[in-house]
Structure 1
Amino acid sequence: MEFSQYDVNALMHITNRPSLVFTEGRGMWLTDNNGKRYLDYLQGWAVNCLGHSPQCVVDAVSAQVGKLINPSPAFYNEPSIVLASMLTKHSCFDRVFFANSGAEANEGAIKLSRKWGKVNKNAAGENRYEIITFNHGFHGRTLATMSASGKAGWDTMFAPQVPGFFKAELNDIASVEKLITDKTVAVMLEPVQGESGVIPATREFMQQLRALTKQHNLLLIVDEVQAGMGRTGELFAYQLSNIEPDIMTLGKGIGGGVPLSALLCREEVACFEPGEQGGTYNGNPVMTAAGIAVLTELLKPGFLQEVKDKGDYMAAQLRKLCVKHGLDGERGEGLLRALKLGKDIGPKIVEAARDLNPIGLLVNSPRPDLLRFMPALNVTTEEIDHMIAMLSEVLTKLGH
C-alpha cells in the first residue's frame, strides 16, 4: 500500500514522522509498507526488550486473551499475582502496583512518597512533600512527572508546573545535600539518565545518595523505566551499586512491547489506603501475562551475563568506530549505550541511516551530538557488527 493511501491526518500531530508505515516486526528487524527491512536499534525506546513480537510474549498474550481479558481491578486475577510475586522475590521490594506506562508509575511514586511524608511528618509536625530530582532527568509527560523532569524548556511548556520539585546535579552529592529542607521527603533519579544522552550515575554517587537519604530519613526513588528489566546487565540497575532503594518504577521492557509498568516499594513505605491509588487497567491479566513471559526469559541461566557480554562487545565496537571516524567516544551500561559524535550531526545520521538501501538502520539522537542505542537484549553479535558497518557507511557518506 502506498503511503499516500494512508489517512495520517486522522492522527493528532505530536511528532515529525517519516513517510513510511511499519507493518511487521521480528526480533531486531522491522518491515515497512513497501517491504523494506530495517535493523532496529530503537526497539520502541527500549520497550521491546526481547525484540519485536517475541514468541514467548505472543504465546502468553494469545493464551490469556482466550481465558480472561479484564475482570476489573476491583478483583484479584492470577497473572498479576504471579508477576508481583516474581518481582518481589527477585528485588528488595515487598509490594507492587501495576499501571500502563512509565509516567503513571512515576506519578504513583510521587504520590506514594508524598503520602509517606504526611504520615512521617517533620519535627514541627508539618507534612513533607518536596522531592529532589535532577537536571536533565526524564520521568514522563504528565504534569507532575514533567515538573519532576529536568528537561530544558519543560518548566514553561504547560505552566504553571506542579510545585515541590528541586533540581540537583547527577553525580554531585553536595548539590543534593544543599537542597534538603525540613519539607524534603524523597530523592528521585534515573540510575542511568536516558533522554539526556545515556549518563550513568556512578556507583559511588548512588552509595552516597543512599547514605544521605538514610541520614535525613528521606525516601530514595529509582526510576528504572528505561534502565530496568535487564537493560544494564543486572535485572535492576540499582543492583549495580549494591544499594537498596525504597521505591522503584518499571516500564518499557517489563511488558516486552505491551503497555505495562510497575511501582514497587518496601513494606514500610506501602502507605496507600483504599481509594488513594488505582486505575481502570491496573494489573490487567493480559498485560501481566506478557510481563511473566518477559521476566521468565530474563531470569533464565546466563541471560543477564549475555547482556553484559554483548554490552561490552558493543562498547568495544563503538570505540573502534570512534577511532576510524574521529568521534569522541561512547558510554553507557549494558545494552543502553551512547555514541558521542563531537559535533551536531546526530539528526543527519538518523535520517541517512534510515534511508540506506536495500536495508535501513533505525537509531536515535536524543541530543544533536550523540546517538543512543537500545537494542533487544537478545541481539546477536552479528547484528551488532551489521549496525557498526552501516553506521560507518553513513559516516563516510556524510564526510566524517
Structure 2
Amino acid sequence: MNAKLDTTVTTRPVTRQTFDEVLVPTYAPAAMVPVRGSGLDLWDQNGKHYLDFTSGIAVASLGHCNPAVVEALTRQANTLWHLGNGYTNEPVLRLATALTEATFADRAFFCNSGAEANEAALKLARKYAHTKFGAHKSRIVSCYQSFHGRTLFTVSVGGQSKYTEGFEPLPPAIEHVTYNDIESARAAIGDDVCAVIVEPLQGEGGVVPGDKAFLQELRDLCTKTGALLIFDEVQSGMGRTGDLFHYMTYGITPDILTAAKALGNGYPIGAMLTTDELAKTLGVGTHGTTYGGNPLAATVALTVLDTINQPAFLARVKEASAKLRSTMEKLVADYSQVFTLVRGAGLLLGLVVTDAWKGRSKDIQRAAEANGLMVLIAGMDVVRLAPALIVTDAQIAEVDRILRLSLDGMIKAA
C-alpha cells in the first residue's frame, strides 16, 4: 500500500502554497484561489467576490456554470462518455454538421485544444503539399509575435523566441514575417511555401488587429503560389468579435480554420475546419487523437455553438463591444499618463501602456485584482480584456469603476 495515500485526499485542505509544492512550476498563478463561479462572478476561498473580465483567457464565453451548458453536459454524462476512434457518435456528427453548415468548411477534425488543432492544420498543409507538389514544398510562413500553441511544432511556428529558448533543435523550414507588413509577406511567400498561418486578430502578441489589406494579400499570395492559408481563430472565433468567426468580418476565406477555447466554454475541445479537397489528404491512419470528438465534448460544444450562433446573440455582442470600447477609450483619455490607446476587436480589447509605464501591465493586473477585478495581460505592456460574451452594460460600468480606482491608487503610491 502506498504510504502517501490519504483516503481524505478529496477533502484535504489545499491553498495557493500547495501549487508550489506539487505542481510543475510552469505557471505563476495569483495568490487567491477561485472556488465558485456564476456568469461573470467568481468567489475565492475566502469568499471574496471578483468580476471576471478574463473568461479563462477567452474561453468561458457563456460565463461560468452556464445553465444550458451544465444541463447538456449532465445529460450526456448520464448517457455516454467515451468511445475509441474505431467508432463514431451522434453528438460529434451533429457538431460537425452544425460547424460546416455555419462556415466555409465541408469537413471537421476534432481534438482537445487549440495547439492540437493547429498541429493538425499544419500537418494537413505539409501532407497536402507533399502529395500534390512534392517534398520541396514544405516551408511554413507565420508572423512574429503570434501564438499558435505549446507543442514543439506550434511554438516554433509562433515566432516568439521566449517560448522556444532551451527547446532546440526546432522543427525546420519555418519562416516569420512582420504582422501587417505586406512587403515582408511578399518577400517570404514563394513557391516552396506549403502554408501561411495567421491570427486575424493577434491575442497573446498584444491584441493587435489584422489589417484587411494584409490579410487579403496573404490570401492572394497563397492562391498564387498554391500554399494553404490557415486562420488561427482559437482566440478570435466563436463570437468573440461579433461574428461567429472573425474571417467573416473581413470577408476573407481561409483554406483551413482552427478553433478551440470558447468552443467548449471550458470543456476541452479543439476543431480544425477545412474543405473536401484538402480533407482527403488525411486518410485513415494519417492523424488521430484518443479523446478528440468524444460525446461529452461534442455535446457541450454543440450547445455553445447553438447559443452563440444566433442573430440576436451576435447583435448583442456587437452592442456590448461598442459599449466596452467607448468606455475604455474614455478611461484611456482620462489616464493618458498610463495608457496610449485601445486596440482589438469585439470583446477582445487591449489597453496599451505609455512609455512611462512600460513593463507594468502585470502591476495593473494585480492592483485590479486586489479591488475585485480579474483582467489579463498580453505581454508586459498591454492590459487585455476578454469578458464573457454575456457581459452586461452594468458590468462594463463596473470594470471602468474598478480600473479607475486601481489606477488612482497606483498613481497616488508612485
Give TM class, smaller chain: over 0.9
**Paired residue secondary structure (1:156):** coil
Cα deviation, 1:88-142, whole Å, max 9, x if unaligned, reads: 0010001100000000000001100000011121xxx544211100000000000
Do the aligned residues in 2 keep the contact of 1:134 with 1:150 (CA within 8 Å)? yes
Do the aligned residues in 2 keep the contact of 1:3 with 1:21 (CA within 8 Å)? no
**Paired residue secondary structure (1:167):** strand
Partner of 1:275: 285
In structure 2, relative to structure 1, the CA distance for the partners of 1:278 and 1:78 (3 Å cut) is same
Partner of 1:180: 189
1:322 aligns with 2:332: yes
The code of the aligned residue for 2:161 comes to A
1:142 aligns with 2:151: yes
1:299 to 291, 309, 334: 309
Partner of 1:233: 242
Partner of 1:338: 350
**Paired residue secondary structure (1:48):** coil
Partner of 1:383: 395
1:203 aligns with 2:198: no
Which TM-score applies when normalising by structure 2?
Answer: 0.92
**Paired residue secondary structure (1:144):** helix
In structure 2, relative to structure 1, the CA distance for the partners of 1:320 and 1:294 (3 Å cut) is same
Cα deviation, 1:200-228, whole Å, max 9, x if unaligned, reads: 11122222221121111111000000000
1:7 to 18, 22, 40: 18
**Paired residue secondary structure (2:311):** coil
Partner of 2:320: 310
**Paired residue secondary structure (2:149):** coil
Partner of 2:109: 97
CA RMSD between the two structures: 1.5
Partner of 1:29: 41
Deviation at 1:259, TM superposition (A): 0.2
**Paired residue secondary structure (2:32):** coil
**Paired residue secondary structure (1:7):** helix
Between the aligned partners of 1:5 and 1:333, the Cα distance in structure 2 is 34
Do the aligned residues in 1 keep the contact of 2:178 with 2:185 (CA within 8 Å)? yes
The code of the aligned residue for 2:361 comes to G
Between the aligned partners of 1:33 and 1:39, the Cα distance in structure 2 is 15
Deviation at 1:22, TM superposition (A): 1.3
1:349 aligns with 2:348: no
Which TM-score applies when normalising by structure 1?
Answer: 0.96
Cα deviation, 1:129-175, whole Å, max 9, x if unaligned, reads: 11100000000000000110011323423111111210011111221
Deviation at 1:2, TM superposition (A): 7.3
Between the aligned partners of 1:13 and 1:318, the Cα distance in structure 2 is 34
Between the aligned partners of 2:128 and 2:16, the Cα distance in structure 1 is 53
Partner of 1:266: 275
Between the aligned partners of 2:64 and 2:410, the Cα distance in structure 1 is 30
Do the aligned residues in 2 keep the contact of 1:23 with 1:33 (CA within 8 Å)? yes
Question: Is the deviation greater in 98-107 or in 71-80?
Answer: 71-80
Partner of 1:72: 84
Between the aligned partners of 2:317 and 2:143, the Cα distance in structure 1 is 28
Between the aligned partners of 1:338 and 1:388, the Cα distance in structure 2 is 14
Do the aligned residues in 1 keep the contact of 2:15 with 2:33 (CA within 8 Å)? no
**Paired residue secondary structure (1:278):** coil
In structure 2, relative to structure 1, the CA distance for the partners of 1:167 and 1:4 (3 Å cut) is closer
Do the aligned residues in 2 keep the contact of 1:337 with 1:372 (CA within 8 Å)? yes
Give unpaired runs (5+ residues) of structure 1: none
**Paired residue secondary structure (1:231):** coil
Partner of 2:298: 288
How many pairs align?
394
Deviation at 1:6, TM superposition (A): 6.6
Deviation at 1:4, TM superposition (A): 4.9
The share of aligned pairs that are identical, in percent, is: 38
